[in-house]
Amino acid sequence: MDLVGVAEIRDMLGGISRQRVSIIANSKGFPDPVAVLAMGKVWRRRDVARWIAEHRPDQAD
């Protein structure tokens, strides 16, 4: 399972701020995290990539 945290999502979204990533990740419609660890939430990369392709196609890989 390929997991990502806020730092990786930031890179996937073209280097936006960590604060902006946190706002997006907590918004309605963003994939639910698969776990919450001491370092923060983690998501499946494929779920986040799908969300980016659907909601921010100009930032998709």
Contact 6, 15 (CB under 8 A): no
pTM of the model: 0.89
Q: Does the pLDDT value for residue 61 go beyond 70?
A: no
d(Cα 19, Cα 58) in Å, to the nearest integer?
Answer: 20
For residue 9, count other CB atoms closer than 10 A to its CB.
24
Convert the pLDDT of each residue in 9-60 to its tens digit.
999 999 899 999 999 999 999 999 999 999 999 999 999 999 999 998 787 6
